[in-house]
């Protein structure tokens, strides 16, 4: 399960096919240097994106597409 403290880099390293979900919420800076250390919550705050819906979408996606991934 992804939490709001999981880094964007960790999410994408384990499930690179989750990138379109980030982009659908307006989070396009997936390869910027901040993504390697920035938590999901921090990235959402910086980009004025509500974290809870994105977090729910990512966890739903991972549960459906990658049930074997444990973060």
User: pTM of this prediction?
Assistant: 0.85
Residue 25 within any structural domain of the chain = yes
Q: Rounded to an integer, what distance in angstroms lies between the CA atom of residue 65 and that of residue 39?
A: 22
Question: What's residue 37's pLDDT?
Answer: 86
Contact call for residues 17 and 69 (beta carbons, < 8 A): no
Report the range of poorest mean pLDDT among 3-7, 16-20, 28-32: 28-32
20-58 per-position pLDDT tens digit: 999 999 988 788 887 788 899 999 999 999 999 999 999
Residue 42 within any structural domain of the chain = yes
Residue 30 within any structural domain of the chain = yes
Total number of domains in the chain:
1
Task: pLDDT band for 69, please (50, 70, 90 cuts).
Answer: low
Look at residue 7 and give its three-state secondary structure.
Answer: strand
For residue 43, what is the domain's CATH number? Answer: 1.10.3910
- The range of the structural domain enclosing residue 50 comes to 8-65
Q: How many CB atoms lie within 10 A of CB 28?
A: 11
Residues in the chain: 71
Residue 3 within any structural domain of the chain = no
Residue 45 within any structural domain of the chain = yes
H-only helix segments in the chain:
8-14, 19-24, 40-46, 51-65
Residue 2 within any structural domain of the chain = no
Residue 71 has pLDDT above 80, yes or no: no
């Amino acid at each position: 399960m992804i939490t709001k403290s999981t880094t964007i880099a960790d999410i994408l390293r384990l499930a690179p096919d989750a990138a379109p979900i980030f982009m659908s919420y307006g989070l396009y800076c997936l390869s910027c240097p901040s993504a390697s250390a920035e938590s999901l919550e921090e990235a959402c705050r910086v980009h004025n994106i509500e974290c809870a819906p994105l977090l729910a979408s990512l966890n739903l996606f991972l549960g459906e597409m990658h049930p074997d991934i444990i973060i």
